[in-house]
């Protein structure tokens, strides 16, 4: 009986230590890991931080990424000194006329917060249909854009949801924008395909390697 009780308490002690160790890791800003979006292209890698202030967009983007939804899609719309846009599954096919019209069978309630999340250089925003057919400003379920104008695009503030920021690879985004394109629809002549995945990084790695300080929320 004593042996049984000793074993039982040892198990409880072990579980207690494990639980508290996990608590310590998740609540220690230096050890806690964060889900960061990694976009790989032929021109290099882009890393994106997703904002906690836009939970619907963050959750959706991570979900689609883990499902492999973005893999093989292209940056189908590139405009120098403005934005590069991608995430449309239609961009996988050879029909360039349907680019910008695809996505999952849902849209996302906007999370527009122009006072705190602005269209600065490197901002990641959600594309959407125009106000004439989308007065609620609901976001596309998958299409996104990256602002490459160093002065930002403030005229978009209040109209579109900004849900992330590029923390590494803006030189890659600018290189993509420089590619030869069809001037009618701004699609590059050469498909710029992407592979998108989630990488786990802690605050120390983000600061040391990418000079990005985790926001205090």
pLDDT of residue 216: 81
User: Could you read off the pLDDT of 73-83 as tens digits, one per residue?
Assistant: 999 999 999 99
Q: Say how far apart CA 107 and CA 136 lie, in whole Å.
A: 11
Label residue 29 by pLDDT band (50, 70, 90).
Answer: low
User: Could you read off the pLDDT of 120-177 as tens digits, one per residue?
Assistant: 999 999 999 999 999 999 999 999 999 999 999 999 999 999 999 999 999 999 999 9
Q: In angstroms, how far is CA 76 from the centroid of its own chain? A: 17
User: Could you read off the pLDDT of 178-203 as tens digits, one per residue?
Assistant: 999 999 999 999 999 999 999 999 99
Domain boundaries, the chain: 1-31, 34-210
Q: Which CATH architecture has domain 34-210?
A: Beta Barrel (2.40)
């Amino acid at each position: 009986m004593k042996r049984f009780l000793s074993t039982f308490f040892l198990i409880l002690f072990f579980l207690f230590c494990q639980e508290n160790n996990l608590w310590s890791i998740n609540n220690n800003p230096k050890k806690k890991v964060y889900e960061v979006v990694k976009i790989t292209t032929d021109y290099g890698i882009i890393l994106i931080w997703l904002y906690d202030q836009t939970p619907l967009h963050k959750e959706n983007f991570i979900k689609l990424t883990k499902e492999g939804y973005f893999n093989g899609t292209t940056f189908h719309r590139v405009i120098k000194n403005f934005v590069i846009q991608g995430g449309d599954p239609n961009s996988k096919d050879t029909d360039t006329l349907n680019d910008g019209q695809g996505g999952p069978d849902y849209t996302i309630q906007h999370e527009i917060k122009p006072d705190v999340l602005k269209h600065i250089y490197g901002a990641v925003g959600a594309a959407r249909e125009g106000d004439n057919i989308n007065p609620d400003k609901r976001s596309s379920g998958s299409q996104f854009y990256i602002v490459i104008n160093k002065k930002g695009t403030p005229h978009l503030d209040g109209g579109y949801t900004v849900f992330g920021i590029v923390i590494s690879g803006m030189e890659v985004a600018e290189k993509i924008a420089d590619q030869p394109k069809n001037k009618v629809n701004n699609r590059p002549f050469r498909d710029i395909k992407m592979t998108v995945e989630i990488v786990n990084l802690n605050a120390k790695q983000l600061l040391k390697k990418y000079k990005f300080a985790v926001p205090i929320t």
